[in-house]
């Protein structure tokens, strides 16, 4: 329907999560018809990011340096390590302004059906940090999915074998949430994780 170059742009935009054919077409036409300067800025920023952004050698989050600003910050508590699934999880925790420790990014979660085992998510690298560094507490912050829970259990077993205290972030009823709208699994987890006040 469009020229090959426009079709190629639409196909490229469809690679973004949550962008379907119509959204990709709308974005492509907007950039070409109404915002060519914005298209140039986007193109340059994307090219620069692809060339310069890599993984932190210590925690595996995205950064331009060999060691990210979180890992190299001497004001952080480097005795506490929070294990998350993705760099987006690091951003979410940092935006909460409540955690001042370090991170380890798994880049996924265990899923034997998909062929994702401990090696694929860097459990060996995490264990190396537990041996080489003075980690006193490992906070597991994987998502409360079946795979996330399995990953949490596996990491818990490995960390305890190294004598490291392991905790798990709480899951349950969100602040402002109404019980009648919360699913049964979340309520069951909230009840079983209750604590004395």
Tens of pLDDT, residue by residue over 144-156, are 888 999 999 999 9
- The answer to whether residues 101 and 144 belong to one domain is yes
Say yes or no to pLDDT of 186 above 90: no
Q: What is the average per-residue pLDDT within 156-171?
A: 92
Say yes or no to pLDDT of 196 above 70: no
Residue 183's CB: how many other CB atoms inside 10 A? Answer: 8
* CATH for 19: 1.10.8.420
- The answer to whether residues 92 and 147 belong to one domain is yes
Say yes or no to pLDDT of 3 above 80: yes
How far from chain centre, in Å, is Cα 31? 30
- The answer to whether residues 44 and 84 belong to one domain is no
Q: What is the average per-residue pLDDT within 129-138?
A: 95
- The answer to whether residues 98 and 159 belong to one domain is yes
Instruction: DSSP letter for 86, please.
Output: S
CA distances from 133 to 66, 92, 126 (A): 18, 25, 10
If one counts the domains in the chain, the total is 2
For residue 127, what are the domain limits? Answer: 76-168
192, part of any domain: no
197, part of any domain: no
The rounded distance, in Å, linking the Cα atoms of 131 and 181 is 44
Place 175 in a pLDDT band, splitting at 50, 70 and 90: confident
187, part of any domain: no
99, part of any domain: yes
- The answer to whether residues 47 and 89 belong to one domain is no
174, part of any domain: no
* pLDDT score, position 38: 94
- The answer to whether residues 94 and 142 belong to one domain is yes
Among the listed residues 22, 20, 24, 23, the one whose alpha carbon sits nearest the alpha carbon of residue 10: 24
Structure confidence by residue, pLDDT tens digits, 19-76? 999 999 999 999 999 999 999 999 999 999 999 999 999 999 999 999 999 999 999 9
17, part of any domain: yes
Structure confidence by residue, pLDDT tens digits, 102-133? 999 999 999 988 999 999 999 999 999 999 99
* 3 state SS of 36: helix
- The answer to whether residues 31 and 103 belong to one domain is no
Say yes or no to pLDDT of 188 above 80: no
191, part of any domain: no
* pLDDT score, position 179: 67
Among the listed residues 168, 182, 81, 95, the one whose alpha carbon sits nearest the alpha carbon of residue 132: 81
Instruction: DSSP letter for 174, please.
Output: P
Reading the block at residue 18, the tokens are 């949550």
Position with higher pLDDT, 150 vs 177: 150
Q: What is the average per-residue pLDDT within 87-116?
A: 93
Residue with tokens 């829970």: 149
């Amino acid at each position: 329907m469009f020229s090959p170059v426009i079709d190629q742009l639409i196909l490229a935009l469809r690679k973004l999560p949550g962008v379907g054919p119509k959204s990709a077409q709308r974005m492509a036409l907007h950039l070409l018809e109404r915002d060519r300067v914005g298209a140039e800025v986007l193109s340059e920023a994307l090219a620069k990011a692809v060339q310069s952004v890599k993984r932190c050698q210590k925690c595996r989050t995205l950064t331009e340096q060999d060691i990210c600003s979180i890992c190299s910050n001497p004001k952080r508590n480097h005795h506490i390590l929070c294990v998350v699934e993705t760099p987006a999880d690091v951003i979410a925790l940092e935006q909460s302004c409540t955690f001042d420790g370090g991170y380890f990014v798994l880049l996924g979660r265990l899923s034997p059906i998909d062929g994702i085992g401990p090696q694929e998510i860097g459990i060996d690298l995490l264990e190396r940090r537990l041996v080489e560094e003075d980690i006193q507490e490992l906070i597991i912050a994987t998502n409360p999915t079946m795979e996330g829970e399995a990953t949490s259990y596996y990491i818990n077993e490995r960390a305890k074998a190294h004598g490291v205290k392991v905790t798990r972030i709480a899951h349950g009823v969100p602040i402002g949430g109404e019980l009648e709208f919360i699913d049964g699994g979340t309520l069951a987890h909230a009840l079983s994780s209750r604590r004395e006040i």
